[in-house]
């Protein structure tokens, strides 16, 4: 049983560019959440998707947007990249029924130069 | 609003010694509480969770945590540290809403000396 997978593993971009990160949830899971983990800090919630709609959103600007596909996979898009967007981006999945536990992927390391 | 405070950004213990990582939470609703571990360059792995059942929760790798409502605490312990326990540990809280967002503490780095 495959767990949560994310791609790419690493990414280097320059300021002002746009980036798309991808996530496939654990089999049987229909809810996907995205977190940003800056160096030396705990993860911060960006948003959560269920039934292809954003259910909850953290305190992140509109430059951060997402999408969920019918197969439950998800994308995180960040526009107009800033140096401060450099971080590890984590995807987590859970089942909407009994979904108190979130399973995390290995993350995508984004570096903005 | 919910929040988590982890006391001590770095804890160092000797192999075989007791591990105690502290976590205090703030929540206006009954909380769900979690401990996650993160090894270098990896994602988060769930150690254990409290979801309003037994207050003493046993997790993987010999870890356990006790939910104390009166102290708003959820400290993580392990009787005997192993070298492989060296990692970053995060305490997190969510509300009882299924699949709700996790609020994480700043993390505690555990070092284990031989």
How do residues B22-68 score in pLDDT, each as one tens digit? 999 998 777 889 999 999 888 899 999 998 778 899 999 999 999 99
State whether A44 and B104 contact (CB < 8 Å).
yes
In the predicted model, is pLDDT for residue B1 greater than 90? Answer: no
The lowest-confidence range among A12-16, A27-31, A38-42, B92-96 is B92-96
Compute the average pLDDT of residues B60-78: 95
Residue A65: the pLDDT is 97
On average, the pLDDT of chain A sits at 93
pLDDT bracket for residue A98 (50, 70, 90): low
Residue A95: the pLDDT is 83
Which residues in chain B have their CB less than 8 angstroms from residue A34's CB? none
Token pair listed for A22: 């991808």
Q: Where are the beta strands (DSSP E) in chain A?
A: 5-7, 10-13, 19-24, 31-37, 44-50, 53-57, 64-68, 74-78, 87-94, 103-104, 108-112
CB atoms within 10 A of CB A113: 10
B39, A96 contact by CB (below 8 A): no
Long-range contacts formed by B65-69: CB under 8 A, 24+ apart: B65/B23, B65/B33, B65/B35, B67/B33
Task: Pick B43's closest partner by Cβ from A44, A50, A90.
Answer: A90
Convert the pLDDT of each residue in A47-91 to its tens digit.
Answer: 999 999 998 899 999 999 999 999 999 999 999 999 999 999 999
A110, A86 contact by CB (below 8 A): yes
B95 → chain A, closest CA residue: A100
CB atoms within 10 A of CB B59: 17
Residue A14: the pLDDT is 98
Residue B41: the pLDDT is 80
Across the A:B interface, residue pairs with CB atoms under 8 Å apart total: 65
Burial class (CB in 10 A: 0-12, 13-18, 19+), A65: middle
State whether A97 and B105 contact (CB < 8 Å).
no
Between CA A34 and CA A65 the distance in angstroms is: 10
In the predicted model, is pLDDT for residue B98 greater than 60? Answer: no
Burial class (CB in 10 A: 0-12, 13-18, 19+), A60: middle
Phi, psi values for residue A58, rounded to 5°: -85, -170
Residue B95: the pLDDT is 73
Residue A101: the pLDDT is 82
């Amino acid at each position: 049983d495959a767990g949560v997978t994310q791609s790419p593993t690493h990414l280097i971009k320059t300021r002002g560019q746009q980036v798309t990160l991808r996530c496939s949830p654990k089999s049987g899971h229909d809810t996907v959440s995205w977190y940003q983990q800056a160096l030396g800090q705990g993860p911060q919630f960006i948003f959560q998707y269920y039934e292809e709609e954003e259910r909850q959103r953290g305190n992140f600007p509109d430059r951060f947007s997402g999408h969920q596909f019918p197969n439950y996979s998800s994308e995180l898009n960040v526009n107009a990249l800033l140096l401060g967007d450099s971080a590890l981006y984590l995807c987590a999945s859970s089942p909407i029924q009994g979904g108190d536990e979130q399973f995390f992927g290995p993350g995508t390391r984004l570096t903005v130069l | 609003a919910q929040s988590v405070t982890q006391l001590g950004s770095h804890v160092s213990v000797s192999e075989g010694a007791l591990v105690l990582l502290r976590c205090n939470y703030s929540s206006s609703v009954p909380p769900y509480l979690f401990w996650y571990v993160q090894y270098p360059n990896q994602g988060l792995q769930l150690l254990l969770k409290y979801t309003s059942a037994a207050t003493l929760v046993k997790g993987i790798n010999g870890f356990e945590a006790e939910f104390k409502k009166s102290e708003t605490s959820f400290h993580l312990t392990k009787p005997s540290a192993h070298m492989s326990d060296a990692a970053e540990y995060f305490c997190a809280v969510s509300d009882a809403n299924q699949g709700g967002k996790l609020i994480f503490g700043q993390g505690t780095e555990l070092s284990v000396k031989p």
